[in-house]
C-alpha cells in the first residue's frame, strides 16, 4: 500500500502534460505498426511461392492470396489512421467532458422518476451512448470490409439484413449485460475504499467465468443455429478420440457458420474441470475429409490436454489484477482529470478510460508477449496431434485451409512476431515433419476449382 501511495503522489503532478503524452505515444504506436505493415506488404508483393509449398499451391492461387493480403493491409492502414485521427480529435477538442455533461442532461431530462440518478446512472448513459456512436461511425468500414473486400474474394455470405440485425443484437446484448456489470463495477469501487481493486478483481473474475459458461448456451444461439452432429463415422471417431484422451465431452454440435462467412473453424467450450462442448463449423465439414476434421479436433484437444486454456485464463486473471491495482494509482489523480477538462468532479468511468489511454504504450509489450506464448502453444498442440498419428492429416488440413482461406503464405518475421498468435504455415509444416508427396505438374487445380468449388476459405487453426 505504501508503494501505491508513493506512486499516486508522484503521478498526481500538474506539470505532467497528460494530453501530449497520450497523443505522442499514440502516434508512435501508429508509426511502429505502419512500419511493420510496410515490411509485410513487401512480402505480399512477392511473386515467388515459398519453396516448401511449391508442389502444393499453383501460381494463380498464390497470386490471388497475395492480392487478398494486400487488400486487407490497405484497408487496415486506412482504418488505423482514421482511428488515430478520431481519438486525437476527442482529446484535443475535449469531447469527453462535453459527452459527460450531455449524458447527465439526458438522464435528468428523459429518465423516468423511478430510475436512480447520480454518477453510476450517468456513467452507464455515457458508456452506451459512446458505444452506439462508435458503432455508427465505424459502420462504413464494416460495410466495406464485408460487402466489398470480402465479397470481391468470394468470402462474404451475409445479407445486409443479417449484418444490421447482428449489430442491433450486439448493442442490445451489451446493454442487457453491461448495465448490471457496469453498475456493479462502479458500485464496488465507490463502496470499498483504497483496496477496491481486490474486490473488483474478484467481481470481474466471476463475470468472466459466468460469461464462459453462458456464452455457448445463451449467446451463440441468438446468432447461429446449433444442431447435434449426425450419427456416422465422424461422430464415432470424435467420440472415440475424446474417450481415449479422457476429454469430458458432453455435446458434439455443428454450427451454421456458412450463413455469414465461408470461413471455417472448430472449438470447444466449458470451464476447467467441467464437461465440455465441441462445436464444428458446417463449412469445415463440407471442405475437409473425416480424418482431417479428426486431426483438427486432435489439435484442439491438445490445447485442453496440456492445460493451455487454463493457463491463458490464469494469465488473463493475473493481468486483470495488475491492471486494477495500477488503476488505484490513477483513480484520484487530479492532474489527469483536469488535463482533460474535468475540474468539478472525477467520474470513476472517466478515470478508467484515461488510465487505459495512459497505459496504452504497454499494450504493445503485452501483445508481443501473449502472441509469443500462444504461438508456442500452437506448436505444442500440433505436436500433440502428431504424436496421436495425425501428422499427415493435420498438415493436409492446414494446407487446404490456407488455400481455401487465401491466407498469406509467408510473412515478415518482425510483423508476424508482433501480430500473429499462430505460427505461419511453413513453420507449422516443418515442425510436424511434413514433406510433400506431390509432383510438380502443369495441371494443378485452378483457383476457381480449389477455392470456390469447395465453398470458400476457412479460418486458420
Return the beta strands (E) in 60-207 as ranges.
none
Query: 308-330 and 196-214 are packed helices; what angle lies between their axes, rounded to 10 degrees?
Result: 140
Cell readout for 205 is: 473474475
Q: Alpha-carbon distance 158 to 260, whole Å?
A: 4
> What does each C-alpha distance from 252 to 249, 280, 281 come to in angstroms?
8, 8, 11
At 431 the three-state DSSP class reads: helix
- Taking the CA of residue 430 as centre, how many other CA atoms within 13 Å lie in the half-sphere pointing to its CB? 9
**Which one of the listed residues 56, 282, 300, 412 is annotated catalytic?**
300
- Picking from 200, 202, 205, 189, the residue whose alpha carbon sits closest to that of residue 350 is 189
382 is catalytic: yes
383 is catalytic: no
Close Cβ partners of 256 (under 8 Å, ≥ 6 residues apart): 224, 225, 226, 227, 282
Look-up of cell digits 472448430: 266
**Which one of the listed residues 58, 150, 357, 382 is annotated catalytic?**
382
Q: Alpha-carbon distance 310 to 66, whole Å?
A: 36
Torsion region of 230: left, alpha or beta (phi above 0 gives left; psi -120 to 50 gives alpha)? beta
The values of phi and psi at residue 410, to 5°, are -150, 165
In DSSP notation, 347-373 reads -HHHHHHHHHHHHHHHHHHHHHHHHHH
> What does each C-alpha distance from 218 to 203, 212, 214, 221, 253 come to in angstroms?
21, 11, 5, 6, 15
As annotated, the active-site residues are 300, 382
Amino acid at each position: 500500500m505504501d508503494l501505491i501511495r508513493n506512486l499516486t503522489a508522484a503521478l498526481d503532478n500538474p506539470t505532467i502534460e497528460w494530453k501530449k503524452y497520450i497523443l505522442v505515444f499514440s502516434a508512435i504506436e501508429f508509426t511502429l505498426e505502419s512500419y511493420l505493415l510496410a515490411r509485410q506488404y513487401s512480402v505480399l508483393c512477392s511473386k515467388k511461392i515459398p519453396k516448401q509449398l511449391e508442389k502444393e499451391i499453383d501460381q494463380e492461387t498464390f497470386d490471388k492470396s497475395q492480392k487478398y493480403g494486400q487488400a486487407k493491409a490497405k484497408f487496415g492502414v486506412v482504418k488505423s489512421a482514421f482511428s488515430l485521427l478520431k481519438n486525437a480529435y476527442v482529446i484535443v477538442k475535449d469531447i469527453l467532458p462535453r459527452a459527460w455533461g450531455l449524458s447527465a442532461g439526458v438522464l435528468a431530462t428523459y429518465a423516468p422518476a423511478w430510475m436512480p440518478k447520480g454518477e453510476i446512472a450517468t456513467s452507464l448513459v455515457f458508456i452506451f451512448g459512446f458505444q452506439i456512436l462508435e458503432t455508427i461511425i465505424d459502420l462504413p468500414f464494416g460495410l466495406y470490409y464485408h460487402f466489398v473486400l470480402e465479397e470481391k474474394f468470394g468470402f462474404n455470405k451475409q445479407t445486409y439484413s443479417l449484418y444490421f440485425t447482428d449489430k442491433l443484437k450486439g448493442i442490445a446484448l451489451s446493454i442487457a449485460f453491461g448495465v448490471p456489470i457496469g453498475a456493479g463495477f462502479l458500485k464496488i469501487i465507490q463502496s470499498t475504499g483504497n483496496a477496491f481493486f481486490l474486490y473488483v478483481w474478484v467481481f470481474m473474475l466471476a463475470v468472466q467465468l459466468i460469461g464462459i459458461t453462458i456464452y455457448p448456451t445463451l449467446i451463440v444461439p441468438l446468432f447461429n443455429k446449433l444442431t447435434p452432429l449426425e450419427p456416422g463415422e465422424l461422430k464415432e471417431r470424435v467420440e472415440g478420440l475424446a474417450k481415449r484422451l479422457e476429454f469430458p465431452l458432453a455435446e458434439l454440435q455443428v454450427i451454421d457458420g456458412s450463413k455469414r462467412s465461408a470461413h471455417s473453424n472448430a472449438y470447444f467450450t466449458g470451464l476447467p474441470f467441467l464437461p465440455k462442448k465441441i462445436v464444428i463449423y458446417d463449412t469445415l465439414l463440407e471442405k475437409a475429409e473425416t480424418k482431417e476434421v479428426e486431426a483438427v479436433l486432435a489439435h484442439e484437444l491438445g490445447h485442453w490436454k496440456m492445460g493451455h486454456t487454463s493457463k491463458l485464463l490464469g494469465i488473463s486473471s493475473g493481468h486483470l489484477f495488475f491492471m486494477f491495482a495500477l488503476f488505484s494509482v490513477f483513480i484520484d489523480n487530479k492532474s489527469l482529470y483536469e488535463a482533460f477538462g474535468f475540474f468539478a468532479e472525477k467520474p470513476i468511468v472517466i478515470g478508467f478510460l484515461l488510465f487505459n489511454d495512459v497505459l496504452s504504450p504497454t499494450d504493445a509489450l503485452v501483445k508481443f508477449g501473449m502472441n509469443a506464448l500462444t504461438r508456442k502453444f500452437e506448436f505444442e498442440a500440433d505436436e500433440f496431434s502428431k504424436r496421436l498419428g495425425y501428422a499427415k492429416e493435420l498438415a493436409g488440413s492446414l494446407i487446404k485451409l490456407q488455400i481455401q482461406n487465401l491466407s498469406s503464405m509467408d510473412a515478415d518475421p518482425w510483423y508476424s512476431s508482433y501480430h500473429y498468435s499462430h505460427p505461419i504455415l511453413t513453420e507449422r509444416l516443418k515442425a510436424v515433419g511434413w514433406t510433400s508427396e506431390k509432383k510438380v505438374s502443369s495441371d494443378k487445380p485452378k483457383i476457381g476449382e480449389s477455392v470456390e468449388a469447395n465453398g470458400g476459405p476457412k479460418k486458420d487453426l
